Amino acid sequence: MPHVTVEDDTEVFVRDLGAGDPIVFLHGWPLNHRMFEYQYHRLLDEGFRCVGIDLRGYGKSDKPYGDYGYDRFADDVRAVLDDLDLEGVTLAGFSMGGGIATRYMSRHDEARVDGLALLAAASPVITEKPDFPEGLDEAAVNPLIEGARTDRAKMNADFGETLFHTDQSDEMMDWIWSLGMEASGQATVASARTWRDADLRSDMDDITVPTKVYHGSHDEVTPIEITGEVLADGIETAELIRFENSGHGLVADETERLNEELVSFAD
């Protein structure tokens, strides 16, 4: 199981599968790269190389106490892409991973990336700002943080119930819960504060590669009106693709459609 050592000697786990044009996946909070299992199946069959990163604090990566800001995450992604010497990457970020991808494109001048796929992205702004009253009230987010501090198992179960628009099996929900429980508690709390407070609007101006914004119309976590539509308007090269039968978890709500879209975009 390969790891990449990043700048502060943290070991970041990387699942590198297949050959061909690379698609690099950045998972959402509080999960890990395994959430993309049903994307890997199809994309590998289509001849793509799938690279899944467990962000620091999550999955099989090291879980240091400390910084879980977007700059740190973006620098870790750069270290992985450099270590694997990837070129022509399609960078696919889901939820918090979409925020990390947005920051990466600006902070690292789109290095090694030829296409950007933002899936239900927690970007560019989630909560209210003085000049963005459309955002969510922090009071809607803070219970997740407090829950992670006091009863993370219950918080993960409750959060899982908000992810999907279509019915999922009990076994699927148990699996999603188990992925969240692989994270460290401190990373779960600290990175939730990151995506709660971030303002990535200025980063959008630096994105020039072809960009697809895939977003569920019924998303209750990152509502399309304050995220997907704003990204599509703010990134000159972006196209918004609405998933009319999806909530936040479009990877499971409309798996086959999303897979078709990714195959077409990354080809």
Domain containing 8 equals 3-266
Q: Which is catalytic among the residues 21, 215, 248, 253?
A: 248
In order along its 267 residues, the chain shows pLDDT tens digits of 599 999 899 999 999 999 999 999 999 999 999 999 999 999 999 999 999 999 999 999 999 999 999 999 999 999 999 999 999 999 999 999 999 999 999 999 999 999 999 999 999 999 999 999 999 999 999 999 999 999 999 999 999 999 999 999 999 999 999 999 999 999 999 999 999 999 999 999 999 999 999 999 999 999 999 999 999 999 999 999 999 999 999 999 999 999 999 999 999
248 carries an active-site annotation: yes
Q: Which is catalytic among the residues 27, 33, 75, 95?
A: 95
C-beta atoms surrounding 248 within 10 Å: 26
160 vs 109: CA distance, rounded Å: 34
Question: Residue type for 217, please?
Answer: S
- The CATH number of the domain where 218 resides is what? 3.40.50.1820
219 carries an active-site annotation: yes
Q: Is the model's pTM score more than 0.75?
A: yes
Is the distance from CB of 1 to CB of 69 less than 8 angstroms? no
Structural domain total, the chain? 1
